[in-house]
Amino acid sequence: MHLRNTRKIKQEVSLYDPIGYDKEGNEISLIDILTNDNEIVDLVEMKLQGEKIKDKIELLSSREQEVIKMRYGLFNGLKQTQREIAKKLGISRSYVSRIEKKALKKLISEISLKT
């Protein structure tokens, strides 16, 4: 019976067990490298906001959708600058900026109405 218990213990890992040393020779434990709770909450909130935006993006014109998707990398994860978007769409950077602002206003008002 005691042998079984010790085998279980050997398989368990504590967050405070040392896993190595930093450049200065200090011991590092697993808890030291894990993200803190605030970072996790921020990531979850960002994900939820992204989902809300994806649900509401259909309210925008096709040009506005295209600019927002490229600017914020909503569907492919690649964020692009206004200059890059302007070059792809064959319009000026300032026009991309105006389209982006108008689309964001629409999205913000729609999301705040539903929340």
Per-residue pLDDT of the chain (115 residues; tens, 9 = 90+): 444 555 555 567 677 778 888 788 888 877 767 655 666 666 777 777 777 777 788 889 999 999 998 998 877 778 899 999 999 999 999 999 999 999 989 888 887 776 5
47, two tokens: 């994900």
Indicate the burial class of 96 (C-beta count within 10 angstroms; 0-12, 13-18, 19 or more). buried
Residues 22 and 49 in one domain: no
Residue 64 near residue 57, CB atoms below 8 Å: no
- Name the residue range of residue 50's domain: 37-114
Whole-prediction pTM value?
A: 0.56
Specify the DSSP class assigned to residue 41. H
- Give CA–CA dist 39/49, Å, rounded: 15
Same domain, 73 and 104: yes
Question: What pLDDT does 2 receive?
Answer: 47
